[in-house]
Structure 1
Amino acid sequence: MVRGKTQMRRIENATSRQVTFSKRRNGLLKKAFELSVLCDAEVALIIFSPRGKLYEFASSSMQETIERYRKHTKDTPAAAKSAEENVQNLKQEAAILMKKIDILEEAKRKFLGEGIGSYSLEDLQQIEQQLEKSVITVRARKSQVFKEQIEQLKEKEKALVAENAILSNKCGMVRNLATSKTNNKDKDHQRRENHQAHQHYAESSSPSSDVETELFIGLPETRTRQQIN
């Protein structure tokens, strides 16, 4: 479907106009700086925002550049014609850029489903195909991000398992040391008990002072009488 050429016009939406101004202003200041550095040119740029805020760039001195410009225009009247031609060229470039902006804004509205009531079936199919391609690209990127996150989690899991194994070994060594100390204490206690039991047995097995040790010769009756006497 052939569409007519879009002429450059003022952006009606205030937010879009401010965003476009900021982007173009930064781009223009950057180009002025690059021109002064790459080509060793004396560049002076003055911009006033819609609200009257001043933005400027000068490769040397802004005042000296302005004075040089005034002197140059006075000495060479032909420079005014050249400047006018430059202005026309800049206007043409600006018109081309504005056209590109309009195309981008229209594409954005298409993808958002705005203002498509007058579109033909072919146009709607093209928009649908483009959206499907975009969805496929987004899903592929999402899957890739998921895989990367899974790999990172696996690496963290390996690190935690290794750290857990080290801590388990340390805990085992501590438990073994404690068990060894406990066993040694039990053995010492058992040895002491055995020693005490042996002493007690030795004392209980010694001869008592009440035990009769005299030797009698003769019949039991005679021994009884002798004990009575």
Structure 2
Amino acid sequence: MISITKTVERYQKRVQDLGSNHKRNDDSQQSKDEIYGLARKIEHLEISKRKMLGEGLDASSIEELQQLENQLNRSLTKIRAKKYQLLREEMEKLKEKEKKLTEENKMLMEKFEMGRRGIIARTSSSTTSEEVDIDDNEMEVVTDLFIGPPETRHSKKFPPPN
């Protein structure tokens, strides 16, 4: 009985192994067919690409060349449409940016004018506005470099006191 059971087990195991081998062969054949189909597709795409680049047109018929020309014209139309769309979008962005910068410039000019009026108002309490205009135009600042202790410093403009 034990030997019959072992024989049956060996038989079942062998049948499973054969079934899995058959399945592997089917999978392998399916993979080979897929690879062959993909290789043909790649070859066809390469030929089509070369024709689009103007290569290998010697064997093409007038009808094929006309179809190729129509396809290229459709492609060019799509490319140009996309290009113009992107250019319009870029122009809109730049117009928005220009508008924001113009508003910012206007705001900064207003702040500048307010600050300038504030300075004139503060100085006009001690002087007249005419004096401020004169002072602004005639303001002179000494930018000479002095070297040495305060009592021995001399400027090139002013000779040392005698």
TM-score normalised over the length of structure 1: 0.48
- 1:73 CA drift (Å): 7.7
CA distance in 2 between partners of 1:180 and 1:73 (Å): 108
CA distance in 2 between partners of 1:73 and 1:135 (Å): 63
Q: Which residue of 2 aligns with 1:215?
A: none
CA distance in 2 between partners of 1:80 and 1:184 (Å): 107
- 1:102 CA drift (Å): 1.3
Equivalent position to 2:27, from 59, 82, 86: 86
Q: Does 1:172 align with 2:145?
A: no
CA distance in 2 between partners of 1:78 and 1:180 (Å): 103
Q: Does 1:138 align with 2:79?
A: yes
Contact 1:109 1:115 in 2 (8 A): yes
Structure 2 residue ranges without an equivalent (≥5)? 1-12, 129-162
Question: Identical aligned pairs, as a percentage?
Answer: 38
Question: Which amino acid in structure 2 is aligned with residue 103 of structure 1?
Answer: H
- 1:143 CA drift (Å): 0.4
Moved over 4 A (4+): 72-75
DSSP-derived class of the 1:110 partner: helix
- 1:165 CA drift (Å): 1.2
- 1:126 CA drift (Å): 0.6
Deviations 1:139-186 (A, max 9, x none): 000000000000000010011011101111110111111221232222
* Cα RMSD (Å): 1.8
TM-score normalised over the length of structure 2: 0.66
Equivalent position to 2:100, from 159, 166, 171: 159
CA distance in 1 between partners of 2:48 and 2:15 (Å): 48
After superposition, residues 38-187 of structure 1 pair within 5 angstroms as 76-186=17-127
Q: 1:96 to 1:73 in 2, by over 3 A?
A: farther
Contact 1:73 1:80 in 2 (8 A): no
Deviations 1:77-109 (A, max 9, x none): 232222112211111111111111112111111
Question: Which amino acid in structure 1 is aligned with residue 77 of structure 2?
Answer: I
Q: 1:120 to 1:114 in 2, by over 3 A?
A: same
CA distance in 1 between partners of 2:84 and 2:16 (Å): 68
Question: Which amino acid in structure 2 is aligned with residue 109 of structure 1?
Answer: R
Q: 1:123 to 1:75 in 2, by over 3 A?
A: closer
Q: 1:170 to 1:117 in 2, by over 3 A?
A: same
Task: Report which of the two structures shows the higher radius of gyration computed on alpha carbons.
Answer: 1
RCO greater where, 1 or 2, for CA within 8 Å and sep 6 or more? 1
Q: 1:139 to 1:87 in 2, by over 3 A?
A: same
Structure 1 residue ranges without an equivalent (≥5)? 1-71, 188-229
